[in-house]
């Protein structure tokens, strides 16, 4: 690295010191449009054009004088006994946004669910919630959900639909025609019991399991081969001393990222335990997990299996055992010394080591199982019997397609899946279903698959329905509705029971099953009713497993058999279809919070793009936003490119979950559908394609990128230390400043005196993974609007909190540091000195306050803010759909256009906590008040409290050796303390 190259950089242009980028960063309120975006015609109602014509001062005067829109209030005439206006009710439940089934608390105001938070009493997720789970409350109020059942696209009653479906099923069963029930792999124990009841009534019925992303299916199939059990183990990263991940993004999207994040940060808490788990990541694309790794090795997709084979060979040699079938794989692209060191560290840890794999290639998963078997970590870092037990007799979707092509199927019922969108042969499904006598879908909307069937029985959302889950063997989590169904929908489980002739509601079926099967395992002295009431209150119970069975024996012969059938190939370019942290498989693509959440790695919003390595981009002449045609399996897809550091030169990354056509007004036609490029091998879908063609076009499509338009100006905003250096000196990597509270002799400020509380925050960079759950949590709590793709391209994002991502090192293999950034609530706030109307002022408790009804929108404060955390309302970002307005938090005012806004450290929560303590005649307890970002953080990276309380968590962290504050040389006195990131690299390079 040359002397002129910055140590930390946000983009390749910043690393190269592009003068145009630096000039653009200084022109903070530039009005030029991004390349490729046509200028809009002047509009008399356009505030932007009005500024141009009349000037800023005249516009500000007009804004200050205009009246706010008139809103009519409706009185609460008959108040329900359980509702107190102004006070929230909380319900324990289970998140249904993905298959991880985390425990959550749902906040309601006047009967409206408005916020999702983590349930601290849940032993698996332990109070954390991911961004997808946070955003699920917005999906409840999605105006594009189906509002009634339909037959042939025409509105129908439930009685009419049920009669036709039952008659059709009975007729087909009587004729011996196959009935197929297409389901996701994870439903929940009671839902599975309903499926079993349905299958018992219709003997010709079988389940077909569909996994859009392929991860669970590959893990389950590998364990069927190696252990005779189709399931997903219970992984325990908190028990590991060495972690080796081969493409498994377990902190972002893999299996159960919220639970794994909490475990991972506990295993790497060097400050608390004086030791730290070592993390290796071998992957083709830069993932959230790879960004946190101590040792990250870019690996081509086709080299994952050979690399795992090389690792297993080395472990077998150390164990004095032989594993057949490995000799045919020679590792060419992964250095032998890398595998030597990795194998040595894993073997030294043995039972405290863990190998995980994110590939959907069964051979790769089998090799990962073999590595764990050689390490002997069953019962410590993983448990085959303690995880998810999946459907042992299910058909694959490929087998169903073969039956449909042969016209052998009489009925197909789809629940919780959308193969018409998420399968490479999805387009052909429309023609195949025309020959099926009975087709039914229970999706919450007429999506790509539901629009092809005759009978649509719309499902409730998870916030409207009962249910349960078993994320870990013996841990039973309940789901309860927190609002009556908003539309004429019905739970899919209840529909299955109805069609099977079971005249029982979902609630009654669930309760009866718990009384018969769960209560006897609970080992409690009370009767069932108290047990049930407590289970509903807590949302989770821990019971004895059905049987204390030992771990099944590993089948050594399965390795050779799996490797013999491996079809892993190679090519100049290889395509990897991956999940984004926010959008996952695209089921929630109509959720604007998720569409606008910046990707933690690329910082892009609204749409997908082709991730290309810097060296590959240089070779092919590709720049950001340039449209590239990807050719795979005879199909061509044109997408914009993004030069992504950390990508293997042969790998091309494309996110799944975009390109929806029948999801709703927000998600339709956003990005391109990547599922069509997945490869098919013997009917099995592989999300990796080899020998992919790439054609660079002259077209350009601008990307909506955040953060990259700012400039660090060479400042050390993030700091790192290596573990050995930190253990020797707690201030390692943090020697530049005098530490928290270091003052400057000369100041124009007289200082502030805080006689009561002094609220402050501490952020542990070593714990933060960049998952962005805090970003969406803040958005939900504070009514932060969605601005849309066009405004995002203009760098007008409204998030009060952002996660800054910094690279360090060479572009092809950089290291990454994430830094949550919010208003720093500076004691000597530069924004306060320049506001002409005193709209931003300092409180007696250390908060920088924004008085909205004073603000005239001069934007002087934003210009003077050194951390660039203030947001300007360019337009009235309002919820046009009345139903969607129900998600708004009444404790936080909805801002109108022409004012500045920013993080308030959740002042509404501070006031609520103080009021509660005052009513009870006591002082506020440390940890009692938690900001929205802090509460939902799976990593526990954010701490909040009273700095004047010397025993508070935040006060202790502020005095630690790792503590530093941003831009102390400016003497702004931030109330936010950052803690240096510690890595266990073992080479002393993180300084």
Beta-bridge mates of residue 37: none
Measured distance CA(819)–CA(707) in Å, rounded: 12
Listed range (16-30, 74-88, 341-355, 467-481) with the worst mean pLDDT = 16-30
What does DSSP say about strands 411-414 and 438-441: parallel, antiparallel, or unpaired? parallel
* pLDDT for residue 750 is more than 80: no
pLDDT at residue 707 in the model: 75
Determine contact, residues 363/566, Cβ cutoff 8 Å: yes
**The two three-digit tokens of residue 855, written as one number:** 């603000």
H/E run at residue 472: strand 467-472
Per CATH, domain 237-380 is 3.30.479.30: no
Listed range (262-271, 384-393, 558-567, 786-795) with the worst mean pLDDT = 558-567
Determine contact, residues 587/608, Cβ cutoff 8 Å: no
Measured distance CA(664)–CA(146) in Å, rounded: 11
pLDDT at residue 974 in the model: 94
Give residue 62's pLDDT band: very low, low, confident or very high (50, 70, 90): very low
* pLDDT for residue 48 is more than 50: no
Give residue 66's pLDDT band: very low, low, confident or very high (50, 70, 90): very low
Report how far Cα 425 is from the mean position of its chain's Cα atoms.
Answer: 27
Determine contact, residues 257/938, Cβ cutoff 8 Å: yes
At residue 623, φ and ψ (nearest 5 deg) are: -125, 165
Measured distance CA(195)–CA(94) in Å, rounded: 20
Spell out the CATH class of 8-28+709-745+754-983: alpha beta
pLDDT at residue 325 in the model: 79
* pLDDT for residue 168 is more than 60: yes
* pLDDT for residue 485 is more than 50: yes
Measured distance CA(960)–CA(957) in Å, rounded: 5
Report how far Cα 236 is from the mean position of its chain's Cα atoms.
Answer: 20
Measured distance CA(570)–CA(363) in Å, rounded: 15
What number is the average pLDDT over the span 964-970?
Answer: 89
Using CA atoms, how far residue 11 sits from 14, 34, 701, 707, 718, in Å, is 5, 17, 18, 9, 15
pLDDT at residue 748 in the model: 66
With a CB cutoff of 8 Å and minimum separation 6, the contacts of 589 are 583, 595, 657, 658, 660, 663, 664, 666, 667, 670
* pLDDT for residue 34 is more than 70: no
Helix axes 557-564, 215-227, angle to 10 degrees: 130
pLDDT at residue 58 in the model: 39
pLDDT at residue 156 in the model: 96
pLDDT per residue over 395-436, tens digit each?
A: 999 999 999 999 999 999 999 999 999 999 999 999 999 999
pLDDT per residue over 68-114, tens digit each?
A: 455 455 555 666 667 777 788 999 999 999 999 999 999 999 889 99
What does DSSP say about strands 242-246 and 353-357: parallel, antiparallel, or unpaired? parallel
Determine contact, residues 800/823, Cβ cutoff 8 Å: yes
Burial class (CB in 10 A: 0-12, 13-18, 19+), 970: middle
**The two three-digit tokens of residue 306, written as one number:** 């050979």
pLDDT at residue 272 in the model: 78
Report how far Cα 384 is from the mean position of its chain's Cα atoms.
Answer: 26
What does DSSP say about strands 942-946 and 759-764: parallel, antiparallel, or unpaired? antiparallel
Measured distance CA(459)–CA(140) in Å, rounded: 12
H/E run at residue 257: helix 257-267
CB atoms within 10 A of CB 948: 16
* pLDDT for residue 56 is more than 70: no
pLDDT per residue over 861-894, tens digit each?
A: 999 999 999 999 998 876 667 888 899 999 999 9
With a CB cutoff of 8 Å and minimum separation 6, the contacts of 524 are 531
DSSP 175-212: TT--EEEEE-S---HHHHHHHHHHHHH-TTEEEEE--S
pLDDT at residue 61 in the model: 39
Task: Pick 482 or 13 by higher pLDDT.
Answer: 482
**The two three-digit tokens of residue 548, written as one number:** 């204390």
Radius of gyration of the chain measured on its C-alpha atoms = 28
Listed range (33-37, 424-428, 552-556) with the worst mean pLDDT = 33-37
With a CB cutoff of 8 Å and minimum separation 6, the contacts of 104 are 92, 93, 94, 95, 116, 117, 118, 119, 125, 129, 133, 539
Report how far Cα 86 is from the mean position of its chain's Cα atoms.
Answer: 31
pLDDT at residue 7 in the model: 79
* pLDDT for residue 43 is more than 50: no
The domains of the chain are located at 8-28+709-745+754-983, 237-380, 569-705
Measured distance CA(601)–CA(705) in Å, rounded: 11
pLDDT at residue 330 in the model: 67
pLDDT per residue over 779-807, tens digit each?
A: 999 999 999 999 999 889 999 999 999 99
H/E run at residue 469: strand 467-472
Highest mean pLDDT among 334-348, 449-463, 516-530, 545-559: 449-463
CB atoms within 10 A of CB 380: 17
Can you tell me which residue has the tokens 């400039």?
Answer: 711
pLDDT at residue 528 in the model: 94
Determine contact, residues 771/264, Cβ cutoff 8 Å: no
- Give a three-class secondary structure readout of 726-791: HHHCCCCCCCCCCCCCCCCCCCCCCCCCCCCCCEEEEEECCCCCCCCHHHHHHHHHCCCCCCCHHH
What number is the average pLDDT over the span 541-553?
Answer: 79
Measured distance CA(26)–CA(55) in Å, rounded: 21
Measured distance CA(248)–CA(357) in Å, rounded: 5
From 312, 307, 276, 315, select the one nearest 294 (Cα to Cα): 276
Tell me which DSSP letter residue 141 carries.
T
pLDDT per residue over 563-615, tens digit each?
A: 886 765 667 899 999 999 999 999 999 999 999 999 999 999 999 999 999 99
pLDDT at residue 67 in the model: 45
> To the nearest whole percent, how much of the chain has pLDDT over 90?
75
237-380 matches 8-28+709-745+754-983 in CATH topology: no
From 617, 623, 656, select the one nearest 640 (Cα to Cα): 623
Q: Helix, strand, coil proportions of the chain in percent (round to 5)? A: 30, 20, 50
Helix axes 304-319, 557-564, angle to 10 degrees: 160
Residues in the chain, total: 991
- CA end-to-end span of the chain: 15
pLDDT per residue over 133-144, tens digit each?
A: 999 999 999 999
Spell out the CATH class of 569-705: mainly beta
Task: Output the pTM of the full model.
Answer: 0.92
Given phi > 0 = left and psi -120 to 50 = alpha, else beta, which region is 831? alpha
Determine contact, residues 168/438, Cβ cutoff 8 Å: yes
Give residue 148's pLDDT band: very low, low, confident or very high (50, 70, 90): very high
pLDDT at residue 324 in the model: 85
The mean of the pLDDT values for the chain is: 89
Measured distance CA(432)–CA(439) in Å, rounded: 11
* pLDDT for residue 759 is more than 90: yes
**The two three-digit tokens of residue 265, written as one number:** 């940060």
pLDDT at residue 54 in the model: 40
pLDDT per residue over 617-643, tens digit each?
A: 999 999 999 999 999 988 999 999 999
With a CB cutoff of 8 Å and minimum separation 6, the contacts of 303 are 331, 332, 333, 334
Listed range (171-185, 559-573, 688-702, 764-778) with the worst mean pLDDT = 559-573
With a CB cutoff of 8 Å and minimum separation 6, the contacts of 237 are 243, 250, 260, 263, 264, 267, 277, 354, 381
């Amino acid at each position: 690295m040359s002397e002129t190259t910055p140590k930390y950089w946000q983009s390749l242009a910043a690393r190269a010191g592009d003068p145009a980028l630096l000039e653009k960063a200084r022109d903070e309120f530039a009005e030029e449009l991004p390349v490729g975006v046509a200028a809009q015609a002047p509009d008399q109602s356009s505030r932007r054009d009005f500024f141009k014509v009349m000037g800023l001062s005249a516009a500000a005067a007009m804004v200050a004088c205009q009246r706010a829109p008139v809103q009519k209030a409706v009185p609460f005439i008959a108040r329900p006994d359980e509702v107190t206006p102004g006070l929230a009710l909380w319900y324990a439940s289970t998140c249904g946004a993905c298959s991880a089934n985390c425990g959550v608390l749902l906040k309601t105001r006047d009967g409206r669910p408005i916020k999702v938070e983590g349930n601290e009493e849940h032993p698996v997720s332990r109070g954390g919630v991911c961004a997808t789970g946070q955003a699920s409350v917005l999906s409840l109020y999605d105006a594009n959900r189906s509002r009634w059942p339909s037959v042939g696209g025409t509105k129908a009653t439930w009685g009419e639909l049920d009669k036709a479906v039952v008659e059709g099923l009975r007729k087909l069963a009587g004729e011996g025609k196959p009935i197929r029930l297409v389901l996701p792999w994870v439903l929940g124990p009671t839902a599975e019991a309903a499926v079993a009841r349905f299958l018992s009534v219709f003997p010709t019925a079988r389940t077909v399991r569909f996994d859009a992303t392929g991860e669970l299916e590959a893990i389950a199939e590998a364990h069927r081969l190696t252990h005779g059990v189709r399931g997903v183990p219970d992984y325990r990263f908190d028990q590991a001393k060495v972690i080796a991940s081969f493409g498994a993004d377990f902190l972002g999207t893999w299996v159960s990222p919220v639970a794994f994040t909490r475990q991972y940060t506990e295993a790497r808490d060097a400050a608390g335990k004086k030791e730290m788990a070592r993390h290796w990541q071998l992957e083709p694309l830069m993932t959230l997990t790879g960004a946190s790794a101590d040792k990250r090795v870019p690996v081509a997709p086709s080299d994952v299996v050979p690399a795992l084979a090389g690792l297993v060979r080395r472990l077998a040699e150390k164990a004095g055992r032989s594993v057949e079938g490995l000799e045919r794989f020679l590792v060419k692209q992964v250095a032998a010394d890398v595998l030597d060191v990795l194998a040595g560290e894993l073997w030294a840890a043995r039972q405290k080591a863990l190998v995980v794999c994110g590939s959907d290639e069964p051979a790769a998963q089998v090799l990962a199982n073999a590595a764990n078997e050689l390490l002997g970590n069953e019962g410590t870092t993983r448990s085959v019997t303690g995880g998810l037990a999946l459907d042992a007799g299910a058909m694959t979707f490929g087998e169903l397609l073969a039956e449909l092509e042969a016209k052998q199927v009489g009925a197909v019922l789809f629940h919780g899946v959308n193969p018409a969108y998420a399968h490479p042969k999805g387009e052909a499904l429309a023609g195949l279903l025309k020959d099926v006598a009975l087709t039914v879908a229970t999706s919450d909307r007429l999506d790509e698959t539901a629009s092809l069937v005759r009978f649509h029985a719309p499902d409730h959302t998870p916030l409207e329905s009962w249910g349960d889950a078993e994320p870990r063997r013996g841990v039973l989590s309940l789901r309860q509705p927190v609002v009556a169904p908003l539309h004429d929908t019905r739970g899919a489980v209840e529909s299955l029971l109805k069609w099977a002739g079971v005249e029982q509601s979902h609630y009654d079926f669930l309760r009866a099953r718990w009384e018969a099967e769960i209560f006897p395992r609970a080992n409690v002295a009370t009767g069932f009713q108290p047990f049930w009431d407590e289970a509903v209150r807590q949302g989770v119970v821990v019971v004895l497993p059905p049987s204390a069975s030992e771990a099944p024996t590993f089948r050594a012969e399965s390795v050779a058999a799996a490797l013999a059938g491996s079809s892993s190939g190679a090519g100049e370019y290889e395509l990897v279809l991956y999940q984004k942290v926010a959008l996952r498989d695209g089921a929630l693509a109509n959720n604007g919070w998720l569409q606008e959440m910046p990707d933690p790695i690329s910082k892009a919003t609204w749409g997908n793009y082709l991730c290309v390595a810097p060296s590959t981009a240089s070779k092919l002449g590709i720049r950001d936003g340039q449209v590239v045609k990807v050719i795979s399996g005879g199909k061509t897809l044109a997408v914009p490119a993004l030069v992504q550091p950390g990508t293997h030169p042969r790998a091309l990354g494309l996110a799944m979950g975009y390109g929806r056509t029948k999801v709703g007004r927000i998600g339709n036609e956003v990005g391109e559908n990547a599922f069509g490029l997945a490869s098919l091998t013997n009917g099995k879908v592989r999300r990796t394609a080899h020998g992919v063609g790439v054609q660079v076009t002259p077209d350009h499509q601008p990307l909506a990128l955040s953060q990259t338009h700012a400039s660090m100006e060479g400042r050390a905003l993030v700091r790192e230390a290596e573990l050995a250096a930190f253990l020797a000196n707690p201030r390692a990597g943090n020697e530049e400043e005098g530490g928290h509270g270091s003052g400057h002799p000369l100041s124009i400020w007289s200082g502030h005196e805080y006689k009561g509380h002094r609220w402050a925050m501490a952020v542990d960079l070593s714990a933060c993974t960049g998952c962005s759950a805090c970003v969406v949590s803040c958005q939900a709590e504070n009514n932060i609007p969605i601005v849309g793709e066009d405004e995002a391209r203009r760098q007008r994002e409204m998030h009060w909190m952002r996660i800054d991502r910094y690279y360090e090192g060479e572009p092809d293999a950089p290291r990454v540091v994430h830094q949550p950034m919010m208003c720093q609530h500076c004691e000597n706030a530069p924004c306060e000195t320049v506001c002409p109307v005193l709209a931003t002022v300092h409180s007696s408790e250390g908060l920088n306050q924004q008085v909205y009804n004073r603000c005239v929108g001069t934007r002087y404060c934003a210009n003077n803010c050194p951390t660039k955390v203030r947001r300007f309302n360019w337009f009235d970002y309002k919820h046009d759909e009345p139903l969607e307005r129900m998600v708004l938090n009444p404790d936080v005012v909805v801002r109108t256009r022409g004012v500045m806004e920013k993080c308030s450290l959740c002042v509404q929560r501070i006031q609520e906590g103080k009021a509660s303590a005052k009513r009870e005649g006591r002082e506020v307890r440390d940890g009692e008040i938690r900001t929205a970002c802090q509460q939902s953080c799976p990593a526990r990276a954010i701490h909040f409290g009273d700095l004047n309380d010397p025993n508070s968590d935040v006060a202790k962290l502020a005095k630690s050796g790792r503590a530093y504050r941003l831009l102390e040389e400016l003497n702004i006195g931030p109330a936010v303390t950052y803690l240096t990131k510690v890595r266990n690299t073992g080479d002393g390079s993180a300084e």
